[in-house]
Structure 1
Amino acid sequence: MMKDREIDNQYINNISSEIWRLFENLRGSVPIEDYNVILLLLSGIKDNVLDAYYVNDSYSIHNAVIKSFAQDFKYSKVIEIYAPIIKFIPGEKLIQVINSFQYFDNSILKEQFQEIFDTLVYKLSEAQGKYTGEYIQPYEITRFIMNLAKIKANDTIYNPFAGLASYATFLDNSNHYYGQEINHKTWALGYLRLLAHNLKDFDYKLEDSLENWNRFGEFDLIVSTPPFNLRANNRNYGRVNFSLESVIIEHSLHQLNYSGELICVFPESFLYKKNRSDFQLKKHLIENNLINTIISLPNSVFKHTAIGTCVVIVNKKKAYKNKVRFIDATSFVNSKTNNRDKLFDDINLFQHIEDGNKKFVQLVDKETIIENDYNLLVSRYFIDDNFKGVRLHEICSFIRGSRSEKDEIGKLVKIRNLKDSIVNFNLDIEEFEDKEIPSTGISKIQQSCLLVALRWRTLKPTYFEYNGEAIYITNDILAFKIDKKIVNINYLINEFNVDYVLNQLEGLRLTGIIPTLRKDDFFQIKVKLPSIEEQKKKYYSFADKYIKSKVQESEFDFNEKKINVEDENSFLRHQIAGSLKNIRGAFDFVKRILDEQVKQQIPDLDNFKADARLETTLSSYINIIDRDLISVNKAVNKAGDKIDLLDLNIEYFDLLLFIKEYAESLKIRAKNLFAVILDLDENAIIEYGISGIQIHGDKDIIRKMFDNIIENAEKHAFTNSINSGNKIKIELQYDFEDDNVQIDISNTGNPIPESLTYNSMIRKGSSSGKNSGDGLGIWFVNEVMKIHKGKFGYTDETGSEGIDGEYVTTMELTFPLIQAL
């Protein structure tokens, strides 16, 4: 079994660190996605294509380097891609980089080159991915799949959608590798990587796998991690809604030899999608014993996506007659530093697979899969319902409701309106305003019933008592009636929150950014059903504990929200200073527009009055505003009124709209001191099937917190010159698995002093730098985040990792999010 990469060698670490510093030389000269040109130059030094000692002429250096690579057979294939990048690098910097290589021991460089090369590729890909969206597949995923493949000598391997040819790096020179990659820069770096690993028998082409699928031979292994967002619909496959996954499987079945195997990483949605073409293919695979294994991977082990992923193994060997091996790998993960930085624990998992540990490995017969309507989602085959109870369909009946009429007015209930409490679960329709009801996707309910959410992490069971006024529910809410003679409503709602039911729900839900439960699966849930009297007793016991826990929680929240206000003056300044700057900036622009544009058309503008009977003119009003702004600014510096953050205006609000409005006000405030860049990643929200992002908080205090961060950048990071290239970037990153959104506010300019630690930044009264203030800025930010049940952190991009783009410091604000459905 393949073990960890040997990267603890001191020389490898030292030389990798030295080369990593060279990337800094390219900062500001070439885009970050082109930094891998250094790996070409390093490869040229290792293979004696370039000689460092003679390079000293900046005038001819570009042509000399390009010509040297073009004359070498191995590198002539890629130099056309790298030549424009080389020409773009200033000659002095190019010389400096190449000459820096002369300090390396070339014999050791050659001996350890593949490890040095791969260490740099992984670090560089991670740095570039934040800005280009291009990520290399995690090493642990690749190693796990190649361990599963059990490659033998002389095996032939086909790798469509090859990326950086990661799978090939686990082969030896007895194997023949055929790979395809459509992106020319990715292909060029992948080609260099194959050279670095000294592979001799490979055919790695720059071409489209779908248009040029290899049909010229049979393979022992076809292995691939295709792009998760690529569609095959627009291509000529003769069928509508035929997924990329199905295309790959059908093609591969024709290209595998009699014992060949296909191993692919797919989005987990492939396992349960029911469009006709995919369903028919899965049915064919199951009934003909072609699927060997399905493995559910942990969420978020791929840095570029939060969607669920799986490994599907298809072969013709029929290793398990009339059975499919299901492997639950979702718990095999190690967190490096945070929830978004997860490492797949593949070595441990592989050992459990080899041992056949039934906790994680199940052989499921074909009949059971057919009973589950060919749903191949791994989690449903690990549900433990081996206890005495009843299925919901035995005690509940589905209420279809009626269709709403066109232009109908009524009370529309959405998921966010449902309750999530075992004591407060009644729907109060008096809280709803009448509104026009959409004509599609809505059901009209005119009887008492239980409502549950089909698209959420909990069912949010809510009881609707019908008193003559109907409600309208969206199609992601299920309405059903229960048999009150044998089921107590309070008891059933409580059971929906008990672990044994939650575990079933977890297994039955369709994974994705928003977990979804199908109606038929909901009615398959099994619940324990003692007598009515025992149900009541159990409910009241749980309700009593629930209420006591909520009381303790409220006391804890109250204590957490208390803020020491001994420094009211400074605190007031930090609350108001940012808003004052926004008002001042906006006012200055209004005056400028009036003076430079409006007065040219209306010379008598200054003398305009709101009413002819008044004496005060427009000019006087402007002077009053100007005077009072100065007065308020002075008052902020001297005020002593007590401020209490418990006096909050908490509400649900659209985060994207809020950020957009803030960015616009920030542009006014910037006054050419810095540019404002906004990246909300709205395509991700659309792709994941939700209509928006909401958070629960006080908009005013969050805005003031943002102002604090901007003010720190203005004081400490930026020079005070106009058009000096300073930038503020506001970027949103979503973690839909944990329902978090991270707001990154980054700046260029001067980095955070190395002596300033996280603990010192959030400590009240701590200050640093020549423009240091009272030390309440970041303390205030941290306090606001705690009040909003969030987290404050920061990244210093100029630390030991270096080169991570032009932004030197990022303040990270992580909020709980609410998905707008």
Structure 2
Amino acid sequence: MMLTKRFPFMQSPTASYSLIESKAYKAIEILKGQANKPNYHLVGLLLLLQKENVLDQVTSQEPAFIIYELREAMYFFDQFKHLIPVYEAFSDSLLEIEPRRLVQVFEVIKSTDKSSLDIFLKDVIENLVYHISKLEGRLGGVFLQPVELTKFICALADLKEGASVYNPFAGAASFGVHFGENIEYTGQEINRSSWAIGLLRLIASNKFEQADFILGDSIIEWNPLGRKFDLIVGNPPFNLRVDQYNHKADSISDATSFFLKECLKDLTTNGKAIVVAPNSTLSNNGKDNKSLRRFLVNEDLLETVISFPGGLLNNTGIPFNILVINNAKKQRGRVLFVDAGNSLFEASTKQKAIDAQRLLSVLQGESSSEIKIVTQEEIFSNDFNLMVQRYFTKESSGVALGNILKPVKGSKVSQATEGKYVRIKDLSNDTHDFILDTSTIETVSLPKYAVKLEKSAILLAVRWKSLKPTHFVYKGEPIFLSPDILPFEVKGKMIDIAYLCSVLASEDVMTQLDRYRTGATVPYITRLDLLKVKVDLPDLETQRVIITSEASRLLEEERKAIRNRAYEELASIKHSMGKPLLNLNSGVRNIEAALSKISIDWESFKLSSKTEYTLRDAINSLYSNLDLLSNLLRNNKHELDVNTYALNQVEAISFFRRYVGDLKAVDGEKYQLSLDVSPDLETEFKGGVYIHANEELLKIALNNIVDNAQRHGFTRKDQDYKLEIRLNLHLNRSYANLDIEVANNGEPFPEGFSWTNLIRKGATAGPTGNSGIGGHDIDAIVTRLDGRLELYTHPYITAPFTTIYKIYIPIIGSDGYQQYE
């Protein structure tokens, strides 16, 4: 695929551009073949040197002399002196190219037309940089900021000609490339590879003469020029802690807060700071973060907060925000909050991107449902929490939980002991079965942070997506609560317990919880915010009528479901019996053939002297009964009873490593098998990625997928087949999912095969008409695990594979209080 199609922000393509592009792509293909991983960005460097006539000085065809002549030209001719920094940045990578490939790459690049490079070099380099970033993925180590985000921030800065910019944590100098002409740009980047790419981009964009791009540490050497700037802009690493990294950090713990604190003293009188920040910067109640937010609001420096959903950045799937600090803020005493969730477009079938023009229009508009101007007083009342959704939810009617519930104070565990330790997984998901069954709670050695409870109470989870309201009835034996469960007692007799548990799971309450929740990876709600949530509170008699009506409705739905299931039995048996039935039919045919060899008259042989039935009659009876059984199985369906499997905490990464290891031991020579675990999972969940599941059920689901690929996908002996299992982190504002992808490059599903076909009991696929895709069982298992199943078969989405199963299962966190801090 040509790069112009993959990266639509490029200028209009021409025949000359396409020729340059094809040669660049050919050079990359040559480098791909070598054993050790090459630096593909060398192709961009060589195109630059070709444009600047440097490669004309290289006449040798011998690899060793090519490097020598290139180096001599760089340092001997004065007209090439400005290229020395970028050449030196890539010189080691040149030496690592295999000699034969070096000669081939030079031949390709030297054949590129220089007059076309004069026109198109910038566009070629930009597209190559993004193409190589996608090619290398996470393994490349260089993460580029999405071009749409960069362009939006540049427009948001609204710089005047001659303005000065400091860009710490600059990466590959994306801001320096995209700011307008006549801007004094100072960038700083610690990663040498990213710095080298940034140099290349700045030179290709004709921005190098006005730029000072420094290889250095933005924390230890903050603002090395020691001057004031009209704009300080950056995208600091989200997970970089600096509290023990540098004495300058003082009490600041993370790179984003460090950026905000340091930039305040280095802005001009009318200067701005713009920073890309994680949710934790806006909501974390740590002393440093909260005091910094308080200062920005109290001093009236915070101008704008813009929130973006997850999945837009190349190096992480978590949501993020843009904060604008302005010394010359116009709307005094107010902060503009913006929800950018609707300002996105489909950049590809698998990737969304920011619609910068639409978002700028929203910001410039006088009114919109996507913006809200918030007073300082309202921010004060929300305890300086800057999460955007907090200020967009409509005020709910009803009675605040603080007027209904009273916190119950338990007692700390004073010494090592054992007891029934209640975790979030033990709370009820069923608002009509909300009594805590203490007989199912394990007696374990209690952690020191457990809270002892010796009275009846409503238990509410403050982590993850649901409160999971559960009623504990005290009968003389205490329970012990994990810190993410809060106990409450009902004030007076104003609310029925059953009604309370039901209403706390209502859509209105869930919307309010989304407003108050904080935390990027593990969402949580504070007790203070929880008690602000409002619920409808009719009189007691009406509450009980509502509960009774709801129970009747659910009972009727269950009856209908039972009737529907009565028509669908034996499909799983059909899946198991298919092969034996084929074997029986084949066996009968073999018996016929053997009898024919014994006697041509075998069909007329009587079974005994007492009967008129012949061998032919007996054979026909066998066929008839086999046909009857086949039709019976074909026309009746049955599902795996997933409810008979007990669910427990399963550490997902270790499970999948064991599972893939077992598969390789059996099928390792039949096809290529691999497991790819996203670094986000191991970074964000250091204590383990736990899901509420059953290992046997997981194996049944995965075996169905794998077996289906082997039976119906891997059908050609001359094909190299691959099966890849990928584990990723999938986030939204209220919860985290384990994103499991199982991809294979076997024969695709038949044309017209749909999601409905996949999950229908007894579905068939392929020319044989045999069932065996197991989709219904897979979907039943995923549903049992409170997950979601998706199937992708379109080549634009699945390439280089043909089929991708995606399974989303909620992550319940790592066992232990430290994970939630």
Task: Indicate the TM-score class for this superposition, using the shorter chain for normalisation.
Answer: 0.7 to 0.9
The answer on 1:658 being equivalent to 2:655 is yes
Distance 1:246 1:820, change over 3 A: closer
* Alignment CA distance shift 1:238-1:707 (3 Å): closer
The Cα shift of 1:224 comes to 0.3
Asked if the contact 1:306/1:513 (under 8 Å) is kept, the reply is no
The alignment status of 1:318 with 2:311, answered yes or no, reads no
Matching residue of 2:294: 283
Structure 2 counterpart of 1:708: 707
Match for 1:784: what amino acid? I
In 2 relative to 1, CA 163–786 (structure 1 residues): closer, same or farther, beyond 3 Å?
farther
Q: Please tell me whether residue 537 in structure 1 is matched to residue 545 in structure 2.
A: yes
Q: Which moved more, 1:484-493 or 1:312-321?
A: 484-493
Which of 496, 513, 516 lines up with 2:521 in the alignment? 513
1:397 aligns to what SS in structure 2?
Answer: strand
AA of the residue aligned to 2:707: N
Partner of 2:813: 820
Q: 2 CA distance for matches of 1:170 and 1:69?
A: 28
Partner secondary structure for residue 363 of structure 1 = strand
Q: Which amino acid aligns with 1:237?
A: K
Could you tell me which residue of structure 1 aligns to residue 85 of structure 2? 77
Describe the superposition over 1:46-80 as per-residue Cα deviations: whole angstroms up to 9, x where unpaired: 33222499574456334344544555223311323
1:22 and 2:30 aligned: no
Q: Tell me the distance in 2 between the aligned counterparts of 1:52 and 1:673.
A: 52
1:766-785 correspondence to structure 2 within 5 Å: 766=766, 779-780=773-774, 784=778
Alignment of 1:88-127 (within 5 A): 88-101=96-109, 104-127=112-135
CA contact (8 A) 2:727 2:739 kept: yes
**Among candidates 474, 482, 485, match of residue 482 of structure 2:** 474
The alignment partner of 2:137 has SS state of: helix
The answer on whether the counterparts of 2:316 and 2:680 sit within 8 Å (CA) in structure 1 is no
SS in 2 for 1:479: strand
Residue number among 469, 474, 495 corresponding to 1:487 in the alignment: 495
Structure 2: gaps (5+ residues): 1-6, 583-628, 783-787, 815-821
- 8 Å CA contact 2:242, 2:255 repeated in 1: yes
Distance, in Å, in 2 between the alignment partners of 1:70 and 1:809 is 51
Report the equivalent of 1:300. Answer: 311
Is 1:48 the counterpart of 2:45? The answer is: no
**1:465 correspondence with 2:473:** yes
- Which of 186, 199, 209 is the equivalent residue of 1:178? 186
- Distance (Å, rounded) in 2 between the aligned partners of 1:775 and 1:97: 51
Change (3 A) 1:176 1:504: same
Q: How far apart, CA to CA, are the structure 2 residues paired with 1:31 and 1:797?
A: 30
Match of 1:417 in 2: 426
Q: Kindly, what percent of the aligned residue pairs are identical? A: 26
Find the counterpart in structure 1 of residue 360 from structure 2: 350
Q: Which moved more, 1:493-502 or 1:25-34?
A: 25-34
Offset at residue 259 of structure 1 (A): 0.1
Contact 2:307 2:320 in 1 (8 A): yes
Q: Which of 337, 340, 346 is the equivalent residue of 1:329?
A: 340
Q: Distance in 2 between matches of 1:331 and 1:553?
A: 38
Structure 1, 145-154 or 355-364: larger mean CA deviation: 355-364
Q: Give ranges in structure 1 of 5+ residues lacking alignment.
A: 575-638, 768-773, 803-807
Could you say if the C-alpha distance between residues 547 and 187 of structure 1 is closer, same or farther in structure 2, counting changes exceeding 3 Å? farther
Cα offset for 1:115?
A: 2.1
1:790 aligns with 2:783: no
Residue identity matched to 2:658: E
Q: Is the 8 A contact 1:45 1:52 kept in 2?
A: no
**Matching of residue 243 in structure 1 with residue 238 in structure 2:** no
Q: Distance between the aligned counterparts of 1:459 and 1:558, measured in 2?
A: 35
Q: 1:541 to 1:727 in 2, by over 3 A?
A: closer
8 Å CA contact 2:790, 2:806 repeated in 1 = yes
Match of 1:605 in 2: none
Distance of 1:416 and 1:29 partners within structure 2? 50
Contact 1:295 1:310 in 2 (8 A): yes
> SS in structure 2 opposite 1:78?
helix
Once the 2 structures are TM-superposed, how far is the Cα of residue 10 of structure 1 from its aligned partner? 5.1
The TM-score with structure 1 as length reference comes to: 0.79
Q: 1:8 to 1:29 in 2, by over 3 A?
A: same
1:157: how far off? 0.8
Structure 1 residues 786 and 500, CA, compared in 2 at 3 Å: closer, same or farther?
A: closer
Q: Is the 8 A contact 1:412 1:435 kept in 2?
A: yes
Q: After alignment, is 45-54 or 490-499 more displaced?
A: 45-54
Distance 1:811 1:32, change over 3 A: farther
Among 388, 396, 399, the residue aligned to 1:390: 399
Q: CA deviation at 1:503?
A: 1.7
Within-5 A mapping of 1:517-596: 517-548=525-556, 563=571
Partner of residue 436, structure 1: 445
Shift of the 644–736 alpha-carbon distance from structure 1 to 2, 3 Å rule, reads: same
- Once the two structures are TM-superposed, the CA of residue 210 in structure 1 deviates from its matched residue by 1.2
- Report the CA distance between 1:425 and its aligned residue: 1.7
> Is residue 2:727 matched to residue 1:732?
yes
Distance change >3 Å, CA 550–CA 122, structure 1 → 2: farther
Report if the CA contact (8 A) 2:681-2:689 is conserved: no
Assess if the C-alpha contact under 8 Å between 1:734 and 1:742 holds in 2.
yes
Given that residues 32 and 38 in structure 2 are in contact (C-alpha distance below 8 angstroms), is that contact kept between their aligned partners in structure 1?
Answer: no
CA deviation vs aligned residue, 1:61-100 (integer Å, no higher than 9, x gap): 3434454455522331132332232223233323333333
Q: Confirm or deny: 8 A CA contact 1:52 1:98 kept in the other structure.
A: no
Answer yes or no: is 1:157 the counterpart of 2:141.
no
Equivalent residues, number:
733
One-letter amino acid of the structure 1 residue matched with residue 331 of structure 2: Y
Opposite residue 501 of structure 1, the aligned amino acid is V
Establish whether residue 498 from structure 1 lines up as the match of residue 497 from structure 2: no
1:443/1:474 contact within 8 Å kept:
yes
CA-CA distance at 1:262 after TM superposition? 0.3
Distance in 2 separating the partners of 1:143 and 1:532: 57
- Corresponding position of 2:383: 373
| CA deviation after TM superposition for structure 1 residue 687, in Å | 2.3
Residue type at the aligned position of 2:293: K
Structure 1 residues 753, 554: CA separation in 2 closer, same or farther (over 3 Å shift)? same
Provide the rounded CA distance (Å) in 1 between the counterparts of 2:358 and 2:131. 24
Counterpart in 2 of 1:207?
216
Q: In structure 2, give the amino acid aligned to 1:661.
A: R
Question: What is aligned with 1:147?
Answer: 155
Q: Compared with structure 1, are the counterparts of its residues 691 and 126 closer, same or farther at alpha carbon in structure 2 (3 Å cutoff)?
A: same
